[in-house]
C-alpha cells in the first residue's frame, strides 16, 4: 500500500469513520490511522442515544440530519447501526420549562418530530415513572438509541468500499510540516503523506494538537455507565430519557437491561489511558439511587455491570471543528460526551468544508476552534444548566 493519501484522519472512532466515509464518497482518498482498533475509545464506550433535543439549534440541526442516516442506514451507508426506536423524553426542572418549550418550538421549525407534553401525557407514555417533580417534558416519538461500535464499523467498511484505507495499531508520533503547511505524519508504522491532516483523536486530541504546535484548551472528561437487569414488572422496554432533575440519563438495552449514566461527578483532566474497565468509586451506588427515584420499581432490579470511558471536552462543552494552526491541519474533536448522535452529519459537513471551502448542509463554522482565543464561547439560544462536569 502506498503511504500517500489525500487526507489523513487520526482516530478510528465514529467521527473519524464518518469523515472518511463522506470524503471517500466524494472520490477523495483518505486514510484513517488508529492506534488501537475501530471504536476503541469514546465511541466504544458511548451510550448511543439518538435524539434531537439540544439547547443549541445548530446541534439539533446536526442531529436531525444524522437521524436521517440512522433511520435509513442500510440504504445510505450499508451494514448495521443497531438503531432502536424507543421514543425519547427530555425531563427538566420546573424553572427550566420555558427554555424547554422554546427549544422544542425551534426544533419543530426545522421539521423535527418533537412536542411538549403535559405531566399527564408523560405519565401515559411512561406509566412506571415518578413525574411529580416536572411541569412538562419534551417528547420525540421517533428517537431512541443505536449501537456505537456497529455504527463506526459500518461507516469505516463503507468508506473502504469507496477507496478509503484504514490502518490500526498505528500511533501518530509527529505531525510533519514544511513552509507552514502540513505534509503528513510520522507513526509507529512509518510515515504517511497528505496535504490535509484531521485530528479526530477524541480524548487523545490534545496530544495530537501539541504535536502540531496548536495550543487549544482541550481536556478530558471521564464518564461512567451502568447496566441493571429490570425486574419482571418492568420487562417491557421503556423510553430513552434525559433526566435533568436527577442529573441522569437512561435507556433500555437488550431484552431486559437498562443503561444508566450520571451527568455530574465526572472528573476532568485525567489521562485518557486510565482504567476504563471499572467505574469510579461510588458511581454504582449513586446511579442505583437515582434510577430508583425516577422509576421506583427499579428497587427490585439487579446490578449487571459497569464501566467507564474518556472523551475530549472543550471549555464551552461544544465541539472544535475546522482548521487551526499549520495550513492543512483540521480538528474534528471536543464533542464533550454528546457527539455520537451527530457523527453522520458532522462528517458530511466537515467533508464539505474541506473540499468546497465551506460547509453547506449545516453551517458548522461557528464551532471553529479559533473561538476560544477570540473569547467567543458558544451558549445555547435557550440554555439549560452546564451539567457535563
Domain 1-84+145-218+314-389, architecture per CATH: 3-Layer(bba) Sandwich (3.50)
pTM: 0.97
Do 250 and 259 form a contact (C-beta atoms < 8 A)?
Answer: yes
Do 38 and 157 form a contact (C-beta atoms < 8 A)?
Answer: no
* Percent of the chain predicted with pLDDT > 70: 99
Q: Please determine, for residue 386, whether its predicted confidence score (pLDDT) is greater than 90.
A: no
Q: How does the average pLDDT of the chain come out, rounded?
A: 96
Domain ranges of the chain: 1-84+145-218+314-389, 85-144+221-311
Per residue in 145-187, pLDDT (tens digit) is: 999 999 999 999 999 999 999 999 999 999 999 999 999 999 9
CATH code given to domain 85-144+221-311: 3.30.9.10
Per residue in 223-253, pLDDT (tens digit) is: 999 999 999 999 899 999 999 999 999 999 9
The per-residue pLDDT for 237 is 93
DSSP label of 110: T
- The reply to whether domains 1-84+145-218+314-389 and 85-144+221-311 share a CATH topology is no
Gap between the Cα atoms of 355 and 340, Å rounded: 23
All residues at 6 or more sequence positions from 5 whose CB lies less than 8 Å from its CB, including other chains: 29, 30, 31, 165, 192, 193, 194
Per residue in 80-97, pLDDT (tens digit) is: 999 999 999 999 999 999
Gap between the Cα atoms of 30 and 6, Å rounded: 6
Q: Find the helix or strand (DSSP H, E) in which 310 lies.
A: strand 302-313
Amino acid at each position: 500500500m502506498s503511504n500517500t493519501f489525500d487526507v489523513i484522519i487520526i482516530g478510528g472512532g465514529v467521527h473519524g469513520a464518518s469523515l472518511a466515509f463522506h470524503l471517500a464518497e466524494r472520490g477523495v482518498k483518505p486514510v484513517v490511522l488508529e492506534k488501537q482498533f475501530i471504536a476503541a475509545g469514546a465511541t466504544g464506550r458511548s451510550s448511543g442515544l439518538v435524539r434531537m433535543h439540544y439547547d443549541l439549534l445548530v446541534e439539533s440541526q446536526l442531529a436531525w440530519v444524522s437521524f436521517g442516516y440512522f433511520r435509513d442506514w442500510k440504504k445510505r451507508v450499508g451494514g448495521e447501526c443497531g438503531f432502536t426506536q424507543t421514543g425519547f423524553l427530555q425531563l427538566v426542572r420546573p424553572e427550566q420549562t420555558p427554555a424547554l418549550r422554546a427549544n422544542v418550538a425551534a426544533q419543530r421549525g426545522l421539521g423535527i418530530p418533537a412536542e411538549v407534553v403535559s405531566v399527564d401525557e408523560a405519565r401515559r407514555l411512561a406509566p412506571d415513572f415518578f413525574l411529580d417533580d416536572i411541569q412538562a417534558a419534551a417528547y420525540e416519538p421517533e428517537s431512541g438509541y443505536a449501537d456505537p461500535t456497529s455504527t463506526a464499523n459500518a461507516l469505516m467498511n463503507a468508506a473502504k468500499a469507496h477507496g478509503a484505507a484504514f490502518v490500526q495499531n498505528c500511533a501518530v508520533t509527529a505531525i510533519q510540516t514544511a513552509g507552514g503547511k502540513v505534509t503528513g505524519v510520522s507513526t509507529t508504522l512509518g510515515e504517511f503523506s497528505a496535504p490535509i491532516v484531521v485530528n479526530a483523536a477524541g480524548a487523545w486530541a490534545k496530544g495530537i494538537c501539541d504535536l502540531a504546535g496548536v495550543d487549544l484548551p482541550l481536556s478530558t472528561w471521564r464518564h461512567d455507565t451502568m447496566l441493571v437487569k429490570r425486574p419482571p414488572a418492568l420487562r417491557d422496554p421503556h423510553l430513552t430519557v434525559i433526566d435533568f432533575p436527577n442529573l441522569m440519563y437512561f435507556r433500555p438495552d437488550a431484552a431486559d437491561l437498562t443503561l444508566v449514566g450520571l451527568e455530574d461527578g465526572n472528573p476532568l483532566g485525567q489521562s485518557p489511558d486510565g482504567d476504563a474497565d471499572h467505574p469510579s468509586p461510588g458511581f454504582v451506588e449513586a446511579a442505583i439511587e437515582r434510577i430508583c427515584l425516577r422509576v421506583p420499581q427499579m428497587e427490585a432490579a439487579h446490578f449487571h455491570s459497569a464501566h467507564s470511558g474518556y472523551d475530549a471536552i472543550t471549555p464551552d462543552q461544544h465541539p472544535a471543528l475546522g482548521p487551526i494552526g499549520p495550513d492543512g491541519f483540521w480538528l474534528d474533536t471536543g464533542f464533550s460526551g454528546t457527539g455520537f448522535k451527530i457523527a453522520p452529519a458532522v462528517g458530511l459537513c466537515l467533508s464539505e468544508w474541506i473540499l468546497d471551502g465551506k460547509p453547506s448542509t449545516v453551517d458548522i463554522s461557528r464551532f471553529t476552534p479559533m473561538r476560544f482565543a477570540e473569547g467567543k464561547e458558544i451558549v445555547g439560544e435557550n440554555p439549560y444548566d452546564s451539567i457535563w462536569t
